[in-house]
Amino acid sequence: MYLFGTTTYYMDTLKKFFLTFIYIIPLFVHGQDSTKTHYTLEECIALALKNNADAQKSASSTSLAKVDLNQAKARLLPTIDGYLSHGINTGLVTDPITNTNISQNISSGSQQLSASLTLFNGLNRLRTIRQQAYAYEAYQNDEQRVKDNLTMDVILAYLQVITARDILEQTKQQRDVTQKQVERLTTLNNDGAADPGEFYDMQGQYSGDQLAVLTAANTLKSNIVILTQLLNIPYADELSFEAIDQIPSASTDMMDSETLYQHAATSLGILKAAELSKKSAIYGLKATRSLYFPTLSLGAGLDSRYSNSTTGRGTYWDQVQDNLGKGASLTLSIPILGGLQRRMDVARAKIYLHNAEIDLENAKNNLQQQSAQVLFNLQTAKEKYQEQQKQVEAYKESFRIAEVQFEAGAINSVEYLQQKNKYDQANIGLTVTQYEWQLRQRIANYYNGDR
């Protein structure tokens, strides 16, 4: 008894440990994934393609199109059906073997096996296979279109986060510069050597700089929330993102819009999806028209019966073999009048094809226009950055001179703050134009097929 109780105790303990291990390990692994707080742009793109709901739904639509294609192929196979029944009857019944009425309790049954194969139906099934094959490819390319759009959305959101972070750092630096002047004027004011107007002007500027820091911090958090929505991950204050320091080369040759359009038509999924959808609609119309033709089918079957109403007929298996019947048939079905259903189906298929042609033409025009716009935006972003650089250099020197003059008492606080604000705004503008150029270059590269 003691040994049995001890064994039971250890078995229960081992069981509890095993169950704890099963439940805790997945949580630990999940916790390891959830502890990641620092991301690069490439990691964000990969995470969005994996987690984003739109990307997942698009992949599911592609899988359903694959199922439809397999189903269309399976319709070429013959159909085989089996039937087996067994019953007990009492009173006046019909003997299934002799087909005579008898009055006794009998046990009887029947067995059937039938097969059917469509030999010809106006090529409907073959054309349906082509229709579903093109539809499947169209869904694949539409899935790629969703991923392309998601990738560009992530790049935009990521660069907005980086821009907001850099602007926050600049506003903090600008506030710190003002703070030093406030501290210097506070010391002079305590000694009675400062102009009160300049002292309070500088304090007002410092409060404005503090507000700018708060606004920039809020903008950064809002942009991170937008990015996490695309990545489908929880927001956390600890999230951080790798900086992008590379500036596109100003000497990069600008390609023409027609070349970019041709590359985009090859690399992006939007135009391919529209072209394949049109081909699918063409074969959908052909498959629908083929329903006007007769259908020729080949059929074959086996059937047998069993009854215990009369002795001497042998066992169940003996009766199945003795009563076995075989048959084959050719069936020609000719459509004559079906409530004009086929005519309506053809009319509907024509409309689907017409819509697909409109979608294709619209996709070509949109892609051509977008390709041209991408290059316009890229050229403008590059020129804005170059001009902003010149402005920053000019205001940097003017602010340096104003700072020296203000500390020497040669200019008042109004003039000093005007120069400081110009320099601060120029630096913020440089950050914005820098990442705008980066964004436009990446979009152009994506249209060009560079991933």
Tens digit of each residue's pLDDT (9 = 90 or more) over 98-134: 777 777 777 888 889 999 999 998 899 999 999 999 9
Q: Give the pLDDT of residue 243.
A: 86
pLDDT value of residue 389: 92
pLDDT at 88: 82
Any domain includes 15: no
- Whether 364 and 410 share a structural domain: yes
Q: Are residues 305 and 346 in the same domain?
A: no
Q: Is 127 inside a domain boundary?
A: yes
Residue 20 resides in a domain: no
What pLDDT, on a 0 to 100 scale, did the predictor assign at position 412? 85
The residue ranges of the chain whose pLDDT is under 70 are 1-34, 245-246, 249-254, 310-313, 451
Domain membership of residue 23 (yes or no) is: no
**Does residue 321 share a domain with residue 306?**
yes
Residue 19, domain member (yes or no):
no
Residues 251 and 329 in one domain: no
**Residue 276 and residue 327 in one domain:** no
Shared domain check, 196 and 171: yes
Domain region containing 434: 37-77+121-293+339-447
Q: What pLDDT, on a 0 to 100 scale, did the predictor assign at position 397?
A: 92
> Secondary structure of the chain in the HEC alphabet?
CHHHHHHHHHHHHHHHHHHHHHHHHHHHHHHHHHCCCEECHHHHHHHHHHHCHHHHHHHHHHHHHHHHHHHHHHCCCCEEEEEEEEEEECCEEECCCCCCEEECCEEEEEEEEEEEEEEECCCHHHHHHHHHHHHHHHHHHHHHHHHHHHHHHHHHHHHHHHHHHHHHHHHHHHHHHHHHHHHHHHHHHHCCCCCHHHHHHHHHHHHHHHHHHHHHHHHHHHHHHHHHHHHCCCCCCCCEECCCCCCCCCCCCCCCHHHHHHHHHHHCHHHHHHHHHHHHHHHHHHHHHHHHCCEEEEEEEEEEEEECCCCCCCCHHHHHHHCCEEEEEEEEECCCCCCCHHHHHHHHHHHHHHHHHHHHHHHHHHHHHHHHHHHHHHHHHHHHHHHHHHHHHHHHHHHHHHHHHHHHCCCCHHHHHHHHHHHHHHHHHHHHHHHHHHHHHHHHHHHCCCC
Same domain, 274 and 284: yes
Q: Are residues 255 and 383 in the same domain?
A: yes
pLDDT reported for residue 177: 87
pLDDT attached to residue 27:
37
388-421 confidence digits (pLDDT tens): 999 999 999 999 999 899 888 888 887 888 888 8
Let me know whether 199 and 64 are in one domain.
yes
Regarding whether 280 and 171 lie in a shared domain, the answer is yes
- 364 and 274 fall within a common domain: yes
Q: For the chain, how many structural domains are there in total?
A: 2
User: Are 44 and 149 part of one and the same domain?
Assistant: yes
Please indicate, yes or no, if residue 178 is contained in any of the structural domains.
yes
Residue 284 included in any domain: yes
